[in-house]
A and B are shown apart, each in its own frame.
Chain A
C-alpha cells in the first residue's frame, strides 16, 4: 500500500494536459520549454530531503546523468548523491575495503572495493542469479521423468492429495478474461522462489558436485518433498544440488533447449576480479569477503564459497562476512546506504541543487566516483 503511494508520487499519472492549458502556460516557443514547464508544474515529491541512490557499478555515465537530472528537475531534491551498490553492501558489513560478491536476482557481480570506492577494472558480472537459477529449475522440471508442469497458485480451483509421483488431480480455474503473460510469469516466479527456498541446496564441497562419488552420497541421503500447487509432489534428492551447481562448475549447468545456460561461474569471476587489482591489496580483499544478495541465501552457499576460495588460495586468510538475517542479506545495499547517509562526514559530499545548477549534469561523474 505504502509502496504504491510512493510510486504514485514519484511517477504520477500523466494528467497534466489540463494544467498545460491552464494559466501557467504562457511561454510556448519550443518543445524543450514545454517540457520544462511541465516539470515546473508537477508536484515535487522529494523536495524535503536529500536523495541518495544506489546504482550498479557498471552503470554508464549517461544513465547517471539522467538519474541526477530526474532527481533534481522532476523530484526537486535539495541534494543528491549516487553510490555504488557493492560499496554500500561493504559499508553494511562494516568494511571500507572488501571483495563484494553480490548474488542477486538478475545477475551476480564480484567487485573489489578499496577505501570506499570501487575498483573499476575489477568489476565482474555474470547472469547467474535468481532468474538464471529459475531457468535451471524449469529445465530440470522439463527433463524430469514425470514432467513437472508449472501451474501457479492462482489457477488452481481445488485439488485432491495424490501420492508422490502420481499425476495431479486438480481442477483449474477458468477466467473469463485473458491472463497477461507478465502476471503469469510473476506467479510462476513466486512458485520457483518457493522451490528455491525450500528445496534447492548448494553442494558444500569439498570439491565439485560432479566429482565421482558425491552424487551417490547425496542419493543415499534423505531428500526433500515439494508439493506443487496442483497437488503433484515428488521427492527431490540429487537434483536439488544439481541445479545450483552451475554457479560453481560450468560443466554442471543444465542446458536450455536453445543451448544457453552456461555462464561465468562465481569462482571464475572472483579469479578475474582479483587478477584485475593490485597484488598488494589481494590478501586484504580475501580477508574481507562480503556476501550479499538474495540468491546467496541458498542453503550451503557460504560453505561452498569458502571451500572454493580456500582451494583457490591455499594458505591465505579468508574470511566471509554474510549478514545472518534474510532481510539484511537481501537489502545490504540499502542498509549500507542508510549508514553512509547518516555519517557526519558525508554531509560535505552531497551534490546540492546549487552545484547542480552551476555545473550541469556532468557533476555526477566528477563527484560520485
Chain B
C-alpha cells in the first residue's frame, strides 16, 4: 500500500500528487544501491526508503580521508638500571620520534660491526633506561656484625646460624611473614665445627646427636626478628635520641608479645571454623545490632534536628571583622535594619488586620501551621544570613530580607490569645522614639494631616501671626518671670497700702508685714484660683498661661492665637497643665489681666520682654482698677 492509497483512505487532498512522481524518481536513483533487498520489499516503504540496511559509506570515506600517515613504531632496546646485571638489553616497541629516527639511521652501521668494549659504552648511552626501574624498592632489614651479635643478640633458643638464616629469608621475602613462615626450612649445620667452637661447655652427647630442626611457628620467627631488629635499632641510635616515629616503632618491636598473637590467631581460627548454626546465630545477632544502631542513629538525627531548630543558626563566618568598633557598629546597624524589617510585619499584620490569615477558619490557627510558619521564618532568616555570607555584601541584606518578608507576609497567621501567651507574643503601638523638642509637636500636627488640611492650618497660623516654630520657656525666662512677679506683688502691696492710707493712714512699718501676709495669702489662694480659672475659662485661659510664661510678647500672642485658632488638642492641654504645675498661680492674676486686656490688643500689640517693666504693669493694674 503506497502513501497515496493512505491519502485516499483518509480523504486527504491529492494536491501533492502532481509533485510526488518527480520526487519518487529522484529517490529511485539511489535505491538500487541498497543491497539484499528485493524491489518489492523496497516499494513497501513508499516515499520513505526502508532503513534496514546500515549505511557504511561514511565509514569508508573517513577511513581513506584526510588522515595522517600511521605512526611509526620501532623495536627499541632498553636497559633496566634496577638489574644487577646491566648487560641485558631487552627490546620493546616504541613510537618513533624524529630525532630518534635520525639517530637510529646513524648507528645502524655500528651495530653491524662487531661490538667492542668502547662500543658497549656508546650503546649504553644511547639506550634509555626503563621507566619502571624506580619502582625497585628494597626492604630495610637490619644488619649486624659478629661482635654486635655476641654482645647483644645472643639467645638460648636461637643459634647465630639460624638467626642469619632467618634474616636472609626475611630479606628474600621482603618481610612478608606468611611467605617467610611457609618457606622457612632451616636445616642446622651438621654439628659443625662452628658449634663446638661456640659452646665448649655443652655436653658431648648434645653435639653428637643429629640436630633436629626445631619447628618454628610464625610467632617464634617474628619474636626473634623483632627482638633483633629492636636491639639493633637501639644500638645504632640510643632510645633517647630517636624521633617519635622511630621510637614508636622501636617500642612496638620491643614489646612484641607472641602469646597474645597466638591467642588472637586462635580466636581467628575459631571464628573460621564455626558451624552453620553458629554462623546463622551470629548473623541474626548482627542484624539485630544493625537495627538497634540504625534506630539509635535515627533518634540522634531527630534530636539533632530539634536542637538545630532551637539553636541560633551557626555562624561559619569569620568574626574578626566585628572585633573593631567600626565593624561592631556596622553589625549593629545591620542587625537593627534586620530587626526593623522583621518588626514591621506584626504591626502590618495587626494594622491590616484580617488579611487572609485571620479570615481563615480558626481550625487553621492551631499549632501546626504556626510551627510551620515559625520554621519557615527561621529557615528564611538563616537562608538570608547565608546569602549575606556568600555574597560578602552586607548592605544588600536588608533589601533581600525585605523582599523575602514581603513574600512571607501572606503566610503569617493570626495567633489566638492562648497561643500568644504560649509564645510570648505581645502587640502594642509604635513606641515613641526617645526625647524630642516640645516645639516640634506642632510640626507633627502638620505632618500627619493631609495636604489640604495642612494648607488650611498654615494659612490660619500665618493669619494669626504664629510662627511655625514655637518658643518655649527656658530657665532664664522663668527667672525673669519670677522677678517680675515679685515686683508686681510689691506694687500691689504698695497700692493696697496707699488705699488704706488714703482713708486711714497707717504706719509704714506694718506694710511690710502685711505685704508678706498678702503674698502668703495669695499663694495659698492661688490653687483654688487656678482651678477656678481653669474651670471658668476653659482652654482659652489655660493656653495663655503657657504662653505667658514666655517673655516675649510674641509668644504670648501666639499662644493666645493658638487657642483662638481652635486647635486645642490634648497635647496643648497637657503642655498647659505642665506649665501650671511649674509656675501655677503666680501668673494667674496676670493671666486674668491678660485675658481682660486681650480684646484691646486685638491687633496683637508687640512688646518685648525687656520693655516689659513695672511701668507697664502699673498701667495694666490701673486699667484693671
Minimum CB–CB distance for B173 against chain A, Å: 7
Give chain B residues whose Cβ lies under 8 Å from the Cβ of A344.
130-132, 135
Contact with B along A346-369 (1 / 0, CB 8 A): 011010111100000000000001
- Given A119-B178, A280-B268, A369-B172, also A78-B183 (CB < 8 A): no
Determine the distance from Cα of A315 to Cα of B136 in the docked complex, in whole angstroms: 39
Q: Which of B85, B132, B178 is A281 in contact with, Cβ under 8 Å?
A: B178
Main secondary structure of the interface of B (DSSP, over half): helix
Q: Would B82 and A279 count as touching, CB distance under 8 A?
A: no
Determine the distance from Cα of A259 to Cα of B90 in the docked complex, in whole angstroms: 54
Interface: A39 (CB within 8 A): no
Minimum CB–CB distance for A368 against chain B, Å: 12
Give chain B residues whose Cβ lies under 8 Å from the Cβ of A119.
178-179, 182
Taking CB as reference atom, which chain A residue is nearest B131?
A: A344
Give chain B residues whose Cβ lies under 8 Å from the Cβ of A121.
182
Taking CB as reference atom, which chain B residue is nearest A122?
A: B182
- Given A314-B279, A348-B82, A369-B172, also A277-B90 (CB < 8 A): no
| Interface positions of B from 216 to 265, Cβ below 8 Å from A | 218, 265
Minimum CB–CB distance for A136 against chain B, Å: 30
Count of chain A residues near B, Cβ 8 A: 33
Q: Would B178 and A347 count as touching, CB distance under 8 A?
A: no
Give chain B residues whose Cβ lies under 8 Å from the Cβ of A278.
177-178, 181, 218, 265
Minimum CB–CB distance for A57 against chain B, Å: 12
Give chain A residues whose Cβ lies under 8 Å from the Cβ of B272.
279, 282-283, 313, 316
Q: Would A279 and B283 count as touching, CB distance under 8 A?
A: no
Give chain A residues whose Cβ lies under 8 Å from the Cβ of B278.
314-315
Determine the distance from Cα of A241 to Cα of B178 in the docked complex, in whole angstroms: 39
- Given A114-B178, A115-B176, A120-B182, also A347-B83 (CB < 8 A): yes
Determine the distance from Cα of A138 to Cα of B280 in the docked complex, in whole angstroms: 43
Q: Would A369 and B136 count as touching, CB distance under 8 A?
A: no
Minimum CB–CB distance for B222 against chain A, Å: 11
Q: Would B133 and A280 count as touching, CB distance under 8 A?
A: no
Interface: A79 (CB within 8 A): yes
Interface: A170 (CB within 8 A): no
Interface: B290 (CB within 8 A): no
Q: Would A350 and B181 count as touching, CB distance under 8 A?
A: no
Residue from B88, B177, B265 having most chain A Cβ neighbours under 10 A: B88
- Given A315-B283, A350-B88, also A277-B182 (CB < 8 A): yes
Q: Which of A279, A355, A369 is B85 in contact with, Cβ under 8 Å?
A: A355
| Interface positions of A from 50 to 82, Cβ below 8 Å from B | 50, 78-79
Q: Which of B179, B275, B276 is A115 in contact with, Cβ under 8 Å?
A: B179
Minimum CB–CB distance for B476 against chain A, Å: 101
Give chain A residues whose Cβ lies under 8 Å from the Cβ of B268.
279-280, 282
Minimum CB–CB distance for B334 against chain A, Å: 58
Give chain A residues whose Cβ lies under 8 Å from the Cβ of B276.
311, 314
Interface: A345 (CB within 8 A): yes
Minimum CB–CB distance for A309 against chain B, Å: 12
| Interface positions of A from 271 to 317, Cβ below 8 Å from B | 277-283, 311, 313-316
Taking CB as reference atom, which chain B residue is nearest A274?
A: B272
Taking CB as reference atom, which chain A residue is nearest B88?
A: A352
Taking CB as reference atom, which chain A residue is nearest B132?
A: A344
Interface: A34 (CB within 8 A): no
Q: Which of A120, A313, A314, A354 is B87 in contact with, Cβ under 8 Å?
A: A354
Taking CB as reference atom, which chain B residue is nearest A342?
A: B92
| Interface positions of A from 68 to 111, Cβ below 8 Å from B | 78-79
Interface: A340 (CB within 8 A): no
Q: Which of B135, B173, B177 is A345 in contact with, Cβ under 8 Å?
A: B135
Contact with A along B172-191 (1 / 0, CB 8 A): 11001111011100000000
Give chain A residues whose Cβ lies under 8 Å from the Cβ of B340.
none
Q: Would A348 and B179 count as touching, CB distance under 8 A?
A: no
- Given A316-B272, A347-B80, also A114-B176 (CB < 8 A): yes
Q: Which of A78, A117, A282, A314 is B173 in contact with, Cβ under 8 Å?
A: A117
Minimum CB–CB distance for A60 against chain B, Å: 15
Interface: B95 (CB within 8 A): no
Residue from B90, B181, B274 having most chain A Cβ neighbours under 10 A: B90
Q: Would A280 and B85 count as touching, CB distance under 8 A?
A: no
Determine the distance from Cα of A100 to Cα of B575 in the docked complex, in whole angstroms: 108
Q: Would B136 and A348 count as touching, CB distance under 8 A?
A: yes
Give chain A residues whose Cβ lies under 8 Å from the Cβ of B176.
114-115, 117
Interface: B269 (CB within 8 A): yes
| Interface positions of B from 46 to 94, Cβ below 8 Å from A | 80, 82-85, 87-88, 90
Q: Would B133 and A348 count as touching, CB distance under 8 A?
A: yes
Residue from B80, B135, B274 having most chain A Cβ neighbours under 10 A: B80
Give chain B residues whose Cβ lies under 8 Å from the Cβ of A345.
132, 135-136
Determine the distance from Cα of A117 to Cα of B169 in the docked complex, in whole angstroms: 14
- Given A280-B265, A315-B274, also A347-B179 (CB < 8 A): no
Taking CB as reference atom, which chain A residue is nearest B275?
A: A314
| Interface positions of B from 262 to 305, Cβ below 8 Å from A | 265, 268-269, 272, 274-276, 278-280, 282-283
Residue from A121, A278, A353 having most chain B Cβ neighbours under 10 A: A278
Determine the distance from Cα of A350 to Cα of B283 in the docked complex, in whole angstroms: 49
Taking CB as reference atom, which chain B residue is nearest A366?
A: B172
- Given A78-B88, A79-B88, A369-B172, also A314-B280 (CB < 8 A): yes
- Given A78-B88, A120-B182, A278-B181, also A315-B80 (CB < 8 A): no
Give chain B residues whose Cβ lies under 8 Å from the Cβ of A122.
182
Give chain A residues whose Cβ lies under 8 Å from the Cβ of B130.
344, 347-348
Taking CB as reference atom, which chain B residue is nearest A48?
A: B91
Minimum CB–CB distance for B91 against chain A, Å: 8
Residue from A281, A314, A353, A355 having most chain B Cβ neighbours under 10 A: A314
- Given A311-B276, A352-B87, also A277-B133 (CB < 8 A): no
A-B contact pairs, 10 of them (CB 8 A): A120-B182, A121-B182, A278-B265, A279-B268, A311-B276, A314-B278, A345-B135, A348-B136, A352-B83, A369-B172
Not counting A283-B272, A315-B278, a sample of 14 additional A-B residue pairs whose C-beta atoms are within 8 angstroms of each other reads A119-B178, A119-B179, A278-B265, A280-B265, A280-B268, A313-B272, A314-B275, A314-B276, A315-B283, A344-B132, A352-B87, A352-B88, A354-B87, A369-B172
Nearest first, the 7 closest Cβ-Cβ pairs linking A and B are: A344-B132, A315-B279, A314-B279, A352-B88, A348-B82, A119-B182, A347-B80
